[in-house]
Structure 1
Amino acid sequence: MTIGSAPDSWGVWFADDPEQVDPGRFLDEVAAAGYTWIELGPVGYLPTDANALQDQLDAHRLKVSAGTVFEHLHQPDSWDDVWSQVSTVGALTRAVGGEHIVVIPDVWRDHKTGEPKEPRELTAEQWRRMTSGMNELGRRILDEYGLKVQFHSHADSHVGYQTDIERFLEATDPAYVNLCLDTGHVAYYGGDNLDLITRYPERIGYLHLKQVDPAIRDKVLAEDLSFPEAVRLGVMVEPPSGVPDLAPILDAVGDFGRPIYGIVEQDMYPCPPEVPLPIARRTFTYLNSCLEGRLQ
C-alpha cells in the first residue's frame, strides 16, 4: 500500500483563500511529515504549469497519485463545465505521473455558507443522468488521459449514505468508474466501510483515510448542520481517536493483492497554520504501525 497526504489535511479547500496555508508551506511540511506522495488538491492551489509543478515536486522529493475534479452531471448541460476541469486537471496529473482522477460530486449546500443550493434528493432522471454521465466521463478520461476515475462519496452531496454508494456502484460500469472509499465520509453517515470492502472489493480503487468523532457526528446529524459547520466543530479527527478503526480496513484492503493508494485527508478548513504538521507526523507514524512496515 502506498500512503500519501493531501492539501485537505492542511486545511485547503479552495484554490486561493486567505485562511489557508500557502502552497510552499504545504509542500515543505508534507515532506517533513514523512510523506512522498500527494494529491494536487483544488485546481490552481499548486502550479497548473506542468514544468513548474514538476520542479516543485522534485525539490521536495514528492510524487503525485491523483488530481481532483468536481462534478454536477445530474444537472442539464453540465458536461462542458465538468470537462473543462478535466482538460486542465487530467493533462496536469498525467504530466507529473499521476494515475487517478478523484471525482467528487458537488454538494447541495454551499461549501462556505452552508445554505441550500438545490434539493438534497435527486429525482430518478437526475440519478440516471449522473450515473450515465459518470460512465462517459470515466471512459473519456481513460481514453484521452490514461487515468482511472475514482468516485468519492461526500457529506452534503447526493451520494453520501451507504445506500447511495451501493446504488451508484450498481448503476456504473467498473471498466470506467470505481470508488474512492473515503473512510471518514462513509462513517459520517453511519456507513460500514468493511462491509463495502467485503461486498465490493473489485470496485475499491483508491482510499481516502480519515476518522470522525462519533459524538460530534451524531450532534451534526441530529441538528442537520452543514458539513462546513461540522468541520468547524471538529468532526474529523486524527487517528486513532475516532471511527472507523483504520487497522482492519488497511488489512482488508491489503488482502486485495493489488497496489492501492491510501491518501490521508483530515478535513480541517479553516485551521491555524501551525496545527497540520504535528498531526501529519503523528498520523504517518500511526499508519506505519498499522501496516507493520509495509507503508511506502
Structure 2
Amino acid sequence: MGRVTIGSAPDSWGVWFADDEQQTPWERFLDEVAAAGYRRIELGPYGYLPTDPARLKDELDKRGLAVTAGTSFEHLHRPDSWDSTWKDISATAELAAAMGAKHLVVMPSMWRGDNGEVVEPRLDHEGQARHGKQVTELGRRIAAEYGLKTQYHPHADGHVDSQETVERFLDETDGEYVNLCLDTGHISYCGGDNLKLIQDYPDRIGYVHLKQVDPKVLAEVEAAGVGFDEAVRRGVMCEPPNGVPELPPLLDALAALDVDLFAIVEQDMYPCPPEVPLPIAERTLAYLRTHGGGVSV
C-alpha cells in the first residue's frame, strides 16, 4: 500500500490572491495551519507567502512546516504565450524548489468568466493536441531547470475541466513530464468520476487535492448558469463529509496504487471571515485520520 500524506493549503484559509484585504494574513495562516495539526503545505498564489527563500524557510521551520508544491496557472493554448507563461511559472518553481518541494501544480486558464459568460472558445481536438504538446514541453523544462514534477490540475470553467477533457489531456501529454493533480472537488463539480480516473490512469496520478462539492448548491449554480467564482461564494465547496465525492473510497484507491502521494486539503472559501477556516481545518483532519485508511500527516 502506498503512503498518502495529508497536507493543507492557503486556499483552505480563503486565499486566492497574492494580496487581498479580504484574505487571512499569511502569518495567521501559517500559525493556524500548524495549530490545526498539518505539517505540509503548498505555497498558494505567488507572493502571498514571503518570496525570499531564507525568510520563508525561517518562518516554516519555526512552525514545523514543509512545502509540498507551488501552484500556478498557464495559458499555453494561446499563440505566442510561452514567454508570459514561463515568467510566472518559473518564479513559482524557483521558490518551491528552494523550499525542498518536489512538485509544481499547474492549472489551465478559464474559458468562462465569473458571471457565466464565455470569454474564450472551448478548445477543439486540434487545439487540445497543441495544448498538450506545449504543456509537455513546459513539464520537461520545469524538470530540467528546477527538478520538479509537473502535476496538472483540472479546473472548473478551465480548458481542462470535464472528464472528457481530462482524459484527452492525459492522452495528449507525456507522463514522463506531466501527470495529474487529481482535484476531487473540481472533477466532481464538472460531472467527472474520480474513481474511474484512478482506475483508468493509475500511472498518471501524481498528486491530489482533496475537496468536496455540495450537490444542492451545485444544482442551483448550474441552473443559474453562474461561473465558478460565484459558485464558491455560494458555498459549493463544503466541509467533509457533507458533500461528494466520498473521500474514504478515494483514499483507499489512492493507497492501493502503491506509490507515495501528497493529498492536500483545499476547500475553496474565498472570501470568508477570518475565524471560519481553523475549526474546519481541524475537523477535516480529524475526519481524514478516522476515515482515511492509510493516511498520514
Question: TM-score range, shorter-chain basis?
Answer: over 0.9
Structure 1 equivalent of residue 289 of structure 2: 288
Normalised to the residue count of structure 2, the TM-score between the two structures is 0.96
Instruction: Give the whole-Å Cα distance in 2 for the aligned partners of 1:215 and 1:105.
Output: 26
Structure 1 equivalent of residue 13 of structure 2: 10
Residue 23 (structure 2) pairs with residue 20 (structure 1): yes
Map 1:171-250 → 2, pairs under 5 A: 171-250=172-251
Residue 98 (structure 2) pairs with residue 95 (structure 1): yes
Other structure's SS at 2:7 match: strand
For residues 40-91 of structure 1, give each alpha carbon's deviation from its aligned partner in whole angstroms, at most 9, with x where no partner exists: 0000000111111101101111000000121000001111111112221111
Structure 2 equivalent of residue 104 of structure 1: 107
Residue 150 of structure 1: how far off its partner (Å): 0.4
Across the aligned residues of Structure 1 and Structure 2, the Cα RMSD in angstroms comes to: 1.2
Structure 1 equivalent of residue 44 of structure 2: 41
Residue 66 (structure 2) pairs with residue 55 (structure 1): no
Structure 1 equivalent of residue 82 of structure 2: 79
Instruction: Give the whole-Å Cα distance in 2 for the aligned partners of 1:227 and 1:56.
Output: 33
Residue 33 (structure 2) pairs with residue 30 (structure 1): yes
Other structure's SS at 1:55 match: helix
Unaligned runs of 5+ in 2: none
Other structure's SS at 2:296 match: coil
* Structure 1, 219-228 or 72-81: larger mean CA deviation: 219-228
Instruction: Give the whole-Å Cα distance in 2 for the aligned partners of 1:108 and 1:43.
Output: 22
Instruction: Give the whole-Å Cα distance in 1 for the aligned partners of 2:133 and 2:169.
Output: 10
Instruction: Give the whole-Å Cα distance in 2 for the aligned partners of 1:192 and 1:211.
Output: 13
Instruction: Give the whole-Å Cα distance in 2 for the aligned partners of 1:181 and 1:262.
Output: 9
Normalised to the residue count of structure 1, the TM-score between the two structures is 0.96
Amino acid at match of 1:13: W
Amino acid at match of 2:120: E
Instruction: Give the whole-Å Cα distance in 2 for the aligned partners of 1:47 and 1:126.
Output: 37
Q: Whose relative contact order is higher, 1 or 2, with alpha carbons under 8 Å and at least 6 apart?
A: 2
Other structure's SS at 2:218 match: helix
Structure 2 equivalent of residue 67 of structure 1: 70
Instruction: Give the whole-Å Cα distance in 1 for the aligned partners of 2:220 and 2:199.
Output: 29
Residue 224 of structure 1: how far off its partner (Å): 1.6
Structure 1 equivalent of residue 153 of structure 2: 152
Unaligned runs of 5+ in 1: none
Other structure's SS at 2:48 match: coil
Structure 2 equivalent of residue 162 of structure 1: 163
Instruction: Give the whole-Å Cα distance in 1 for the aligned partners of 2:19 and 2:193.
Output: 35
Instruction: Give the whole-Å Cα distance in 2 for the aligned partners of 1:199 and 1:292.
Output: 22
Work out whether residues 91 and 145 of structure 1, in 8 Å CA contact, stay in contact via their aligned partners in 2.
yes
Residue 293 of structure 1: how far off its partner (Å): 6.3
What is the count of residue pairs matched by the alignment? 294
**Sequence identity percentage:** 60
Work out whether residues 252 and 293 of structure 2, in 8 Å CA contact, stay in contact via their aligned partners in 1.
no
Other structure's SS at 1:158 match: coil
Residue 292 of structure 1: how far off its partner (Å): 4.3
Distance 1:205-1:53 versus aligned 2 partners, 3 A rule: same
Amino acid at match of 1:217: L
Work out whether residues 69 and 82 of structure 1, in 8 Å CA contact, stay in contact via their aligned partners in 2.
no
